[in-house]
Structures are given as C-alpha cells and as structure tokens.
Structure 1
Amino acid sequence: MTITNNRPLVRPATTADAGPLIGVLAEAFHEGPVADWLIPDPDERRTVYHRYFTDAFHHGLAHGQVHTTSDQTAVAIWYPRLEPTPTDVHERLGTLERIAGAYAPKFVLLEATFDALQPDEPHHYLAYLAVDPTRQNRGIGAALLAEHHRRLDDLGLPAYLEASNMRNRRLYLRLGYTAGPTIVLPTEGPVIWRMWRGAPTSTGSRTSFPHTRPRRRSL
C-alpha cells in the first residue's frame, strides 16, 4: 500500500532487512529514561542494545508481525495477543543473561513487569515502534502504524502498548490511544504509560481501557 502525501510505502519486513532495522531499533531506543535506567553507560548500552534488538527483531519475525518502510527508516513489531501467552521464563532468563550480562537483572525485571500487566482482553501488542532519529517528527511512525490500525478496526480488535516518555505518549494520544494506569519501575526507575486503542463500537466510540489482573511470574 502506498501512503500519499510523500509518506513511505509500508511493507512486511523480512530477514533481508535485519541489518538496517536492527540499527534503527538500537539507535531509536538508545536515548531516554528507560535506556538510562537499564544501562547507565552509553557505550556499553550501545553494545548490549545491538544484541538485544537483534533478538527482538528475529523474535518478531518468527512470532509476530514486523512492518517497515520502503527506505528502511522505521520498524514496528506487533504481537497478536488473542489469548494469554505464557513465557518460558527460564529460557528467557538464559537469553537475557547472554545478551545483557551484568545488566540482565533489570532487563528481566522490565520484561516481567510488562508481561504481568498485559491486558487479558484479546488485542494486538505493539512491542516496538522505532524511527531513525534523523527522520523523526515527519509523520513516519504514524504512517507505519496507520495500516495496522485500519486492519485492527476491521477485525474489531484493540491495540496495547507501553509508552516510555512524554513525547511518545503524546503521539499515541493523537493516534487514538488512551492512557491507563502507569507503571513505575523500581530502584529509582522511570514512569511507563500503559496505552490502549480500543476497538470501535457501534456508537462510534472505542472500548475503554480494560481491567487488568496482574499475572504471577516466577523464576
């Protein structure tokens, strides 16, 4: 599908896109309150993030839906969550220890917190949206999400995500999301905004943020 108004072509990503899109993910998430909390040293963060987002990109291709633009300057990784999806906690712990080394405990805490607070209602989960930092603020991220949002509306499904800063929160509010209860990460961690784009209703409104019962997750 071609997006007009000089917006890019949006298409499914493939393994051939790995190099550029892993770079986009690592660079787009390199700065910010979550990044500072996870790995204070920016040089070490760059090394670990490249490994982390290599894993995230290939996991998205294998288990979710990954979209990119014709110029490979943006990427979105979605996961259908049509029923509760258990995580192999021990396998994930081993993966994060290989990826993050001494920083693994905070990565484990971050992922476990997000996983425990996933809504039970069937939805699609936007795990990552990244735009090349040199191309941000041009509507590329919104364009990348537009087609998937339309598909979700046709299916009558909501979308869910976590916004890690106020700028991203404002973007998602403009795209029809509403803010739910926040997450405050421990050990002086940042605030995370849980966001929900409800399914369309017969009255023209959208379903409200669902009640979430935290799921227990033990190692």
Structure 2
Amino acid sequence: MHNTVTIRPATRTDAGPLIAVLAEAFHEGPLADWLIPDPADRRTVYYRYFKDAFHHGLEHGQVHTTSDQYAVAIWYPRLEPSPTNAHQRLAALEAIAGPYAPKFALLEEMFEAFRPDEPHHYLAYLAVDPTRQSRGIGAALLADQHRRLDQLGLPAYLEASNMRNRRLYLRHGYTAGPTIVLPTDGPIIWRMWRGAPTSGGRTSFPRTRRRRRSL
C-alpha cells in the first residue's frame, strides 16, 4: 500500500499536527509507563518533550512527514562523534519533564552510551497517528529513507521499545543486537541495525562499546 503514500520534508508549519502525532503514538507502552506512570501527567509532559524533539530534528536532523500529516520520522546523520552538553540537556529536561526528568535523562544517557560508533543514520522517532496505523504508512517512511541510505552506502540504527515495533523493524531488514535493560524495573530496549549494502548482503551489527556515563 505504501506506494500511494506521499512523503515530503517537514517544516515548522507542520509543528502542531506532527507534535500531536508523536505524543499520541508514544503515549502507550512499557516505556511510557516507566517514564511517567500517571497517564494525565504523561500527556502534558509528552507534548512538551516531543515539541522539543520535533524542533531539534528540524534544526539538526532530517524530519519527514506525509502529505496528510498523519505520520512523522525524525532521523539524525551520525557520521562522526557528536558530543553533547550534558548539563545543558539536563536543564532542558528538568524544564520539560519536571519531577520525571531523572528518568528521561537516564533514558537518553543509556541510548547515547550504547549507540554504535560506526557512521550511520539514527532513527530517533517513527510515529503514525494511532487511527492510521497498520496501513503501511510507517513502512513507506522507512522505505523512503532506506532508499537514500542504500544509495549512500550507509547503515541505519534505532531502538525499539516494544515487541510490536521490534517485529516491524525485523520485517524491514533490521537485525537485533544486544539489548538495553533500564534500571528500576524499566523495560527492555531492543537495539536494531540495518547494515549497509555489500556484495555479500549487509554489514553486521557493530560491536558494542559502551561509553562512559555523562549525566
């Protein structure tokens, strides 16, 4: 079905609809339950968090959407190490998430610590409006970026936070690497890798070298 989906770069004028899509698509699931147990608080905090994520993606990454604004993907080229200002980010998370900031900071720190060093593009978020899921829209967004990456000879990397998403990415050429287990009864996160094309197939999941914790 995804041949009928029109994909285009997102702009600031898409902010309202796409931030809502992100917040709604990620509202349910084991990671959301761990980050913010209270669903009412979660809705408020998630809108602020994904507003920040959307605008950060526009400034530093690649944001794609569909003509009807029912889906969004935020990618980041990770072609070389990109140091972050840990104290600045922690302050931003405290403003966004209030008392829930420590878990958000821990999550982002864990993701950064286990991210591959090998040059790749990182899929930070793929979200489809819950009323439009299972129609091939997410697959279309993936395929669109995968074509570009194959032309560039680059791999893709992401973290899947539930089994449904893990199965989706496995169907689209990703392999699962070592997991991340979040502390304090947190959920399992599956690290996923779609290797660069080679004459013999695709490059394998790179060896994990955990970075030092910084926050």
Residue 171 of structure 1: aligned partner:
168
Selected match of 2:159 from 162, 178, 184: 162
Q: Any gaps of 5 or more consecutive residues in structure 2?
A: none
Residue 55 of structure 2: aligned partner:
58
Q: Secondary structure of 1:120's partner?
A: coil
- Determine if contact 1:7/1:140 at 8 Å carries over to the other structure: no
| Identical-pair percentage | 81
Residue 214 of structure 1: aligned partner:
210
Selected match of 1:22 from 13, 19, 24: 19
Query: TM-score with structure 2 length normalisation?
Result: 0.98
1: CA distance between counterparts of 2:66 and 2:151? Answer: 22
Going from structure 1 to structure 2, the CA distance change for 1:92 and 1:180 (only over 3 Å counts) comes to same
Selected match of 2:64 from 64, 67, 79: 67
Counterparts in 2 of 1:60-139, with a 5 A limit? 60-139=57-136
Q: Any gaps of 5 or more consecutive residues in structure 1?
A: none
Going from structure 1 to structure 2, the CA distance change for 1:190 and 1:91 (only over 3 Å counts) comes to same
Q: How many residues align?
A: 215
2: CA distance between counterparts of 1:132 and 1:81? Answer: 27
Query: TM-score with structure 1 length normalisation?
Result: 0.96
- Determine if contact 2:2/2:137 at 8 Å carries over to the other structure: no
- 2:31 is aligned with 1:31: no
2: CA distance between counterparts of 1:5 and 1:140? Answer: 6
Q: Secondary structure of 1:181's partner?
A: coil
The one-character-per-residue Cα deviations of 1:114-170 (angstroms, maximum 9, x if unpaired) are 001110000000000000000001110000111110110011000000000000000
2: CA distance between counterparts of 1:51 and 1:209? Answer: 33
